[in-house]
Amino acid sequence: MLTSVNVQWRVKELRDQAACAAVLTLQQKRSLLRRVVFTPIAEVNGESDLCQKYEESPCEGGIHVSVSMPDKLRAIELDAKLAGE
């Protein structure tokens, strides 16, 4: 069936539609993972899209701030997988 021009055209059409329907493109996914890897935790605050948890609590010297972001090693692993490595 794949030798038929009409079938080839329809398969391409369906693949194009699926690519457009994706939430993030491959390039967008890899760009986000790159930001996770290269953004220092000190640059992540409560307003950052990389912030997963932000807590402020009083302490003896003032206010203690706790910030967490996605795991950098996991981001490297996911990027390698997306790159086909």
Q: What is the pLDDT of residue 73?
A: 97
**What are the strands, taking DSSP E only, across 11-79?**
53-59, 62-68
pLDDT in tens, 10-56: 888 888 777 776 678 889 999 999 999 999 999 999 999 999 999 99
pLDDT band at 2 (very low <50, low <70, confident <90, very high): low
- DSSP per-residue string spanning 16-71: HHHHHH-SS-HHHHHHHHHHHHHS-GGG--TTSTT-SEEEEEEETTEEEEEEE---
Structural domain boundaries of the chain? 5-82
13-22, 57-66, 76-85 — which is least confidently predicted? 13-22
| Residue 70: both structure tokens together | 């996605």
Q: What is the pLDDT of residue 35?
A: 97
Q: What is the pLDDT of residue 25?
A: 84
pLDDT of 6 > 90? The answer is no
Q: What is the pLDDT of residue 12?
A: 85
